[in-house]
Every structure is written in structure tokens, then in C-alpha cells.
Chains A and B, each alone.
Chain A
Amino acid sequence: MRVSCLIFLLPLFASFGVAQPTDLRGIVADSASGERLPFASVQIMSLNLGGSTNFNGFYLLTNVPPGTYEVAASSIGYLGQTRRVTVRPGVSTVLNFELSARPVEFSEVVVTERARRELSEINTSVHVMDVAQMRSIPSVMQPDVFRAIQILPGVVSSSDVNTHFYVRGGAGDQNLIMLDGMKIFNPFHAFGIFSLFDPDIIKTTEVYTGAFPAGFGGRLSSVVSMLTRDGNRKEYAAKAEASLASSKLQVEGPIYGATRFLASARVSTFSNVLDRVLRKDLPLSFYDAFVKITGEDLVEHSRYGFTGFFSGDDLRSRSSADPDYVWRNYAVGFNGGGLINERLFFDVVAYENMFEASRRPRNSSSTPTRTKIRETGVRTQATKYTDSKDLFFVGFEFSFPSVDYEVVNLAGIPRSVYSTFVDFWTWIRYQAKVGPWQVDGGVHLDAGSIFQRSVGLEAVEPRLNVSLLLAPQWKWKASYGRFSQHLITVNNEDDVIPIFDAWIEVPREIGSQRADHYVTGFEGNPWAELSVSVQSYYKHYRALVTYNRDKVEAEDPDYVKGRGRAYGLETLVRVGRPGWDLYATHTLGWTTVTNGAATYPPRHDRRHSVNLLGIARLEPFEFTARWEFGSGFPFTPSIGYYDRLTYEDLFERPIGEQPSEPYLRLGEKNVRRLPVYHRLDLGAHYRFSVGRLRGSLGVQIANVYDRANVFYVDRATGRVITMLPFFPSITLTAEY
């Protein structure tokens, strides 16, 4: 079946291969490292003609009239560059740029948002973050990709101690996490305390908080697509960093010709430090490692390489009365991309990923548990540059997930849930600009479900993004998308810290989880220093996996189809001036899940979320402040106990002699709210250089005013567990 699908699609791609002359194309790269720059802008000023680079740093301007032009290239964090080029008739002209980096000014991100890539102008719910932005955000002990994402509107963090996040009311397993096109199923170190990804290996992170375009699928809520750096093509470089949480070494450089490598490894520094963060007596050690080898051809614009990512966590409890936990992750992939015809750019990645976690009970009362998911697949996309400067995409993803969950159930019986199936997604997408209108529409087809789940029209997932330029400074946008998901986690949704993300296939009788997204809003720059975005969203969950509350017998299914909805309003304001930046977001949201006759807010439903971020630069210092506010999460209150008869010996004993055990009575599900959450973090960084050695010394203080934010209440002890207390930490970075 695999081969037949490829055979089916190849002629489709090849049909695009009609030679078109008089084009201008090339690569935009970093002058120091040769790193290709995605989302860079390339403009022929005199023709008012331009475009932006793709993930490979490649751009192509079609039907450029013959002549000599000044062409300008620019990218966030780089000095712009203008080059003269002569375009001859009937010939495609190649013009590559190498831009010099300059100190990042956050204000540029703020006020030149319109200069971002074309895509972000059309889509309603997309955010692009680079390393500099991530490092600017105050963090606990070490910078973190996912912690940075949580300042975005619509994204709710679950707690201080973990980086799990919920997007626009969606559950944690509804976020698609991708690293260079490879899916990562558990992107967190133990307890979610940090994400697996070292920010310094990430070139760009693209976050779709909803209504994502065709090309992404398999999840209901969001996409976090991370693109890693290729490494330095011109010289060797090394970077070391030490913080209380982890120590890191990163090396990169050329191998041979245009081939380069990047290798990075982090290991936990002091396992005891994490006790204080987790508020538990748990010695946790972890590591993660990343290696990437990339080759390229600047003339043909092609790029190819290998990416490997590995991580592990070990929690060896000090007391034998507590269980041990082990987590392992890896993802490896071969990728390639290039211009295979005059106007046809091709990207492909073949990958395998694996996540495995296990619990060893030792002398504790817990039971042995293990979860494992492994997926092998190939993902490819072709981009067709058209005469009219519109873009046409077609692609597919073909994968073989296998999931295995072993658990000892309530009956004390070891149970294994194993399934393997074929995921086959294909999509077609078109981007066009007509006057003040821009349209990005397409269809994402869940072809695998047509055969395996007997799905009909539901397999067709339309996606549409529209934007209208209302005035030079204001844009109206609207999006719609339909989404489905076949894999879910089966954690108890009331777990405060999901230690175990056990994945299973959505029960076949339910089919798939399904949702529709509707988003609309305005964006604009009323002043040069101010940018504003207001968006409203509505998500309709047509099918969600929920507990079967009517289950009585073994024959009754564990799960049934529920439904839900989420809606809200997001506001984002950015004010930027040289040396100063302020970033503010507010999200007002409602989320409910309906299971049979019961409708309740899920545990991550948050009415108000506010994020304020301020950055001040006074070279060589940078000062940051972040304040986060969230209204309380729901919880189910306890309303007393009663002695419940167990009827162990129903027939032999009269009712007065039947044994009983205390049973906790719970009130209406999630009817109450925890207190509001708020926290102020401050950070200061001092940058220095000694010869060729550059470095920075950072000091961060989390929870400056020592707010006792309630994490959860331990029903067994009645103890109120609070989150991170006043917590100072330091980071030292040296780069050569």
C-alpha cells in the first residue's frame, strides 16, 4: 500500500514541472554561519514585487520582467542587504544573500510584524518565535521553549512545575509537536518540568493556536512546529552553559565541503535542586541529546541531512516505599529538500520516533505500568510557484503508529492494550492574493480512516484562511478548519501532574476525535510603536473520548463519545521602542465538555489569562520582567464520606454484618475554582566578551513576591500544595 501511494502521488508532483523562465530565485543565509534563514523578506523595490523564504531559506519570484534591479533582503535580527542583479529573458537568475546578524531588538519584532512572511499575514492564529525571543523571557533555572510559548494568547500553562500546556480549551494531548517534521509524542522531561528541547538548537518555532492550514493534521488543538539549526558551515564553534538544573555542551562546524554538523547534549546538574521545584522528595536525573548533519548545494538550492534526537529521565526514589519511573524518547529522521524543477520545491522527511515510559512499584502500593508508542513514517510536501505568484502545495504523510499500554487494572489483572494501524494523510493547499484579499485554502484528507474506520465524508477536512486589508494599518482575518485525531492519552483527566502520558488509539467504536475551529479578528498597527491583535474563536468538539459513566458490566465500553466546545476572545498588544518593549496578552475563555447528561468545565478551563512581558536593554545588560495572571482552575470539592458496603460476601452475611469502607463523596464535577494564580519573574543578563570568547551571566528570580499559588490539595492529607516559591537561579553561558 505504501508503494502504491507513492506511485500515485509522484505523477501528480511531476505534472507541476513545466519549465518557466525569467524567474529570480535564491537562498538567504546568515553570513557568519551559513545558516539558512526562513521567513526572510526579498523585495524588488522598483517593481513592488516580493516574497519570503520558506523553511529552507529559499525564495522564488516568478515572471520578473528582464532588466537590472536593486533587490533587498531582510530578516528579523539581521542587517538588511541590497544587491543589484540583471534578469535576462528566458533564464532563471540565481541571487543568494548572506545577511549579517545584529543585536536583536524586540521592538523590531513588534512593529514590523507586517514584514514577516506571507503566511502570517493570512492565518489568524499563528505565532513565530526565534531563539532570541525565547531567551528573553524570564524562566526558572533555564530557558525553555514551551515556557516561552505560554506567553502567547490562548495558551494556558498547567502549573509552575511543568510545561504542559493547553491551547484554546483543548486537552494536552491535542497539541501536535513537531521537530523538523518529526512528531514528538512526549516532549517533556519528567513531570513536564522542562521541555525536551534546548532552545539553542531551535532556529524557529511556529505555533498555530487554532485553525491551522492544510499540511498539519492528526491533532485537534494546536501545532508547535520547531525547525532546528543546521550548524555553522564556515567555522567551528562551541557553547557551554551551566545552570542549577542542567549543564550543556554544544559544538558545530563544517565537516567537508558544504556539509556541517551540530551536536548538543544536556544533562541534569543537581537532581536535588529539582526537589524544591517539584515540592517532592524526588531525585530526578535527565539528559537530552541532539545531532544533526546537513549537506547542501547552493546552486541547486537543495539541502539534505540526518537529524537525531534522544532523551531520557530517571526518577529513582530515595524510599523503597515509592515507585521508580523511567522515560525514554528518540526521534531520528532523514530529510531533504530542493528545487526539482524550475518552479517546484520539494521537501521530504522519513522518520522514526519512539516514546516509552514505565513505572516500577518496588515496595509501594502502585502497580507496574508501561506505555510505549513507536511510529515510522514519511512526510513530504511539494510547493509550486505559479505565474500569478500564488503558491500551490500538495503533500502527504504516511506513518505506522503502534501503541502499547500495559497496566494492572482494578480487578488486579495485567492488561495490555496494543494497536497498530496506518495513518495516511494527504493535503492540497492554495495561497492566493487578489487585491486586498489573501486566501489560504485547502483540504486535508484523512485517507487512512476511509479504509480503517469506514469514514466517509468526515475524512475530508477543509481548511480556509482569509484576510482583508481594510486600511493600510488594519487587517481583518477569518479562519475555519476541521480536524481529527486518532491517538489520545488515557490519563485520568483529574490528575494534577500527569506523570504518565499513556497513549492509546481512539477506540474504534468511537472512530476519531473531531473538532471544528472558527476564528476571526483584527490586527493592526495604529501607531508605528504599537501593534494590536484581537481574535475570537469558537471550537466545536463533535467527538471527544470521555469516560462511559453508564459502564456497569465488563461488556460495557470504557469510553464513549462525548462532545464539547470552547470559545473566547484574545487580545495581544505590543509596544516597542529602541531599548524597551512591552508585550501584553489577555485571553478570556470558556470550555465545557459534555458527557451524557453532564456538562462540566475540564480541569484546564481558565476564564482569564494575562501575560505582561517587559524587556529593557542597556548594553551590556538586559532586564526582563514577566507577570502572569490566571483565574482559578476548576476542581471538584469533596462533600464528606460515607461507609460503603463492599458486599464481598453478599449471600452469606446479613446486612448488619456486611463490612464497609470509607468512600469519599464528591460534589458536582469541577464546580469550584482554585484561587487566582499570579507570579512576577525578573531576570537580568550581563553579556561579556574576552577575545573570541563570548558569554553571558544571567540571574533570574521566579515568584519575586513569593505568592503562594495553590497547586492542588492532597485529599489524603488535606495538605494544600503550593507551586514554586521565591526561587532565584543563575545561568552562565560561554560561547567560542
Chain B
Amino acid sequence: MLRPMHIALRGALAVIAFMSVACETAFDPEGTFEDRIVLFGLLTPGSDSVQLRLQATYDPPTPDPLSYAGGPDLTGATGRLFWERGAQANLRDTVVPHPDSGRYPTGLHLLTAPVRVVRGVEYTVRVEVPGFAPVEAMATVPGSAPIYFLNEDLLRQPFGHPADRLGIIVGLAPEAEGFIPRVEVEYEVISQGNRIERREVPSSMSVTVSGTVPVYPKIRGASSRRSSGSSTIELYEYEAKAYRFLVQELHETYGSPNLRFRRAILTVRTFDRHLYTYYFLVNGFFDQYTVRTDRPDYSNVRGGVGVVGAFAVDSVVVALPPVL
């Protein structure tokens, strides 16, 4: 009978030999490449056509993704746009110069339909490209957003008005997840030939080591998470001193005698859920307090990658006295 020591030794050697050989497996750090259609689209009533940007995922020949050039073969792409009550339109495949023409000299595929989208309506796009799985995405264009200034007198009397805030009221339609306001001042410069210009009004002023700098509005979500189908009223406040700062700066730049104020334009862009979410994720959550360093992805394109989203623009105008 073998002694325990010998049994143990032989057992150990057998384990080493067996596990070293039997457990060996082939190793490939890359997973199986997924050939997918990449679809981006912005549906907005402000445009008289729907445009979808058509690309594909790629597997670069080297670890450097920029080594991939030329673009995939998307010949034969077809698409259709559907909306309420069975209405549909064909999306026509066109090729336009790619913004990164150095890398993609063959151009960029755009699927276009001469359709002006309507607020509050859900749109579905379906795209097929030979060799790829078909993709589908849905987006609903945000409905009308009632907007107005809460105290527009402040715009007309920046230096005589007691308010320290300029309020903006935005009614968010049920389809809208977020919004961004923009207030512009339009004025006429009458020296060296008359011309009309616009400047955006900052929402606040920030004191930094390099001085006082203007801060412009950022996209903001609904003030509370809503159940589907409900609207909210949102208040967005501008600091009055930021408006005064801009007016003062214009006076100093052009000289008061050369300046004629014309009007203030409030523009509010409202976003559907997909565009809103994607926009935050690609921009690091726009969170100045986060300590996270990951950059997650988001897609609403079933069977593919990318985002088809929607936004709408509303505006109101307030006439300004020539002299502020």
C-alpha cells in the first residue's frame, strides 16, 4: 500500500499535468463583430423634409478605429416613414459629402423624404440594407409648448426695473422630456453702414479667476418625472444682472448713439425622450458634480445602433424700445 506522502505527491503531479493541458483554451480578446446599421435622425417640424443619416458599425483592421476608412457598402438601402392612420412615405437614398471626407471619401448616405413632421405625432422609420438586419425606430415630435416671459417689462427697462430675475414659462407637452430656452436681443448698429445683429442673453454671470464670465442656459428636464400623457409647466429663470451685463456691453462696444434696440426673441426647443437622453449621455451627463468617468451608450434603434429623436422649436418676440 502506498504511503499517504507518495499518494499526495503523485496526486499533485497528476493535477498539475492534467489542468495545465486540459484546461487550455484558445483566446481571442475580441468578441464576434456585430455588423449593424447605424441610424441617426432628427425629426423637427421646422424642416420641410425628414433626413436620416445611414452608416454601419465597423471592425477596423487595427486597434486604432481611425484606421477604418472608406465606409461600408450600403448600396441598395431602402426606407419608409410611417405615421398615424397608415400614412407613409418612401425614404430616398442619396449620397452627400461626408463631414470627415478625408476618412470617408465615398460620401455619406442620407435617407430623405419630403415630409414635414407634425407635432404630437409618432413616427416610425424602417430601414433595410442588403446584408444587414433591418432596423426600426420610433420618435414622437413634442407637441406645442406655450411659452412666455413672466416679467417682460424687465426686458424693456433693464436698469429701472426692480426685479432681479427674468422668468420664462414653458409648457412641456407630454411627449417632451426636456427643453432649452434661448433669449436673443436684436439690435441695429447705425455706424459705418446700418446692420442688424443678434446676441444671446446669458442666463447668469459666473465669477472666475479670469473675471466675470457669462453663463448660457443648459438643457433641463421636466421638473418631475411624469407619467405618460401629462403636461407640466416649467419655470426657467435668468438673472436680471446677466441681461443688464449684455446691454451694458453692447453700449460700450458700439457706443449708445450708434445703437438701436429692436426686439427680444425667446426660442424654446423641446426634446423627445430619446434625443434628450442621448444628448446627456454623450456629453457626460452635463453633471459638474459627478465623479463617474464612464461614457455609456444609448440607442432606440431596434436591430441597430444610433438614435432617431425629435425636437420642436417655439418662439415669442417682445418689441424693445430703441434705447435701453
Contact = CB atoms under 8 A, between A and B. Distances in A.
Interface of A: 405, 407, 409-411, 413, 415, 417, 490, 492, 504, 527, 529-530, 547, 549, 551-556, 558, 573, 575, 577, 580, 582, 584, 610, 612, 614, 627, 629, 631-632, 635, 637-647, 650-651, 654-660, 662-665, 667, 671-672, 674-676, 678, 680, 710, 713-718, 720
A499 to B, nearest CB: 13
Contacts of B41: 655
B73 to A, nearest CB: 16
A584 B27 contact: no
Contact of A718 (B31, B63, B293, B297): B63
Interface in B247-301: 269, 276-297
Contacts of B280: 552-553
Interface in B38-68: 38, 40-42, 51-53, 55-60, 62-66, 68
B159 to A, nearest CB: 31
B63 A644 contact: no
A671 B30 CA distance: 12
A715 to B, nearest CB: 7
Contact of A410 (B32, B108, B293): B293
B16 A552 contact: no
Residue from A612, A650, A672, A713 having most chain B Cβ neighbours under 10 A: A650
Given A553-B280, A553-B286, A641-B65, A582 B8 contact: yes
Contacts of B293: 409-410, 492
Given A582-B9, A713-B29, A642 B55 contact: yes
22 contacts: A405-B291, A407-B291, A409-B288, A409-B289, A549-B296, A552-B285, A553-B221, A556-B285, A558-B290, A637-B31, A638-B31, A639-B32, A639-B33, A642-B55, A644-B297, A655-B41, A655-B53, A662-B68, A676-B23, A678-B19, A710-B27, A717-B63
Given A552-B285, A651-B269, A675-B25, 19 more contacts: A504-B291, A529-B5, A554-B290, A558-B290, A558-B291, A584-B15, A614-B9, A629-B16, A629-B20, A637-B30, A638-B30, A639-B31, A641-B57, A642-B38, A647-B278, A656-B51, A656-B53, A662-B65, A718-B62
Interface in B62-112: 62-66, 68, 96, 99-100, 108, 110
Contacts of A631: 23
Contacts of B295: 410
A582 B8 CA distance: 7
B4 interface: yes
Contacts of A610: 15, 19
A657 B100 CA distance: 9
Nearest to A664: B65
Contact of B287 (A411, A660, A672): A411
Contacts of A413: 288
A527 B8 CA distance: 13
B52 A655 contact: yes
Contacts of B59: 640-641
Nearest to A714: B63
A676 B33 CA distance: 24
A3 to B, nearest CB: 36
Those 5 A-B pairs whose CB atoms lie nearest each other, nearest first: A637-B31, A410-B284, A718-B63, A662-B65, A554-B287
B4 A575 contact: yes
A732 B35 CA distance: 59
Q: Which of B29, B278, B306 has the most CB of A within 10 A?
A: B29
Contacts of B34: 639-640, 665, 667
Contacts of B294: 492, 547
B110 A656 contact: yes
Contacts of A642: 36, 38, 55-58, 305-306
A138 to B, nearest CB: 15
Given A640-B33, A641-B68, A678 B285 contact: no
Contacts of A678: 19-20
A655 B310 CA distance: 12
Contacts of B23: 629, 631, 676
Given A582-B8, A658-B99, A710-B27, A409 B290 contact: yes
Contacts of B289: 409, 415, 554
Q: Tell me which of B12, B68, B305 has the highest count of chain A C-beta atoms within 10 A of its own C-beta.
A: B12
Contacts of A629: 16, 19-20, 23
Contacts of A551: 285, 290, 292, 296
Interface residues of B, number: 72
A494 to B, nearest CB: 9
A717 B64 CA distance: 7
Contacts of B306: 642
A78 B255 CA distance: 96
A655 B51 CA distance: 7
B28 to A, nearest CB: 8
A712 B285 CA distance: 29
Contacts of B108: 656
A648 to B, nearest CB: 9
B65 A529 contact: no
Contacts of A555: 221
A638 B8 CA distance: 43
Nearest to A557: B290
A710 B24 CA distance: 12
Contacts of B56: 642
A415 B63 contact: no
Max chain B CB contacts within 10 Å: which of A410, A504, A580? A410
Nearest to B27: A675
A323 B1 CA distance: 63
B64 to A, nearest CB: 8
A646 B290 contact: no
Contact of B38 (A580, A632, A643, A657): A643
Contacts of B290: 409-411, 415, 551, 554, 558
A676 B15 contact: no
Contacts of B38: 642-643
A551 to B, nearest CB: 6
A639 B4 CA distance: 51
A640 B42 CA distance: 25
A552 B110 contact: no
Contact of A409 (B20, B27, B284): B284
Contacts of A575: 4-5, 8
A547 B292 contact: yes
Nearest to A407: B291
Nearest to B178: A553
B180 to A, nearest CB: 9
Nearest to A367: B293
Contact of A641 (B15, B60, B99, B100): B60
B135 to A, nearest CB: 13
A573 B57 CA distance: 52
Contacts of B9: 582, 614
Given A558-B292, A639-B33, A646 B282 contact: yes
Contacts of A527: 4
A272 to B, nearest CB: 28
A349 B302 CA distance: 61
Contacts of B311: 650
Nearest to B271: A650
A410 B284 CA distance: 6
A552 B99 CA distance: 28
Interface in B292-324: 292-297, 305-306, 311
A577 B42 contact: no
Contacts of B4: 527, 529-530, 575
Instruction: Name the residue among A415, A651, A675 with the largest chain B CB count within 10 angstroms.
Output: A651
Contacts of A658: 40, 53, 99
Nearest to A530: B4
A672 B25 CA distance: 12
Give the interface centre of B52, B65, B279, B297 by most chain A CB atoms within 10 Å.
B65
Nearest to A528: B4
Contacts of B53: 645, 655-656, 658
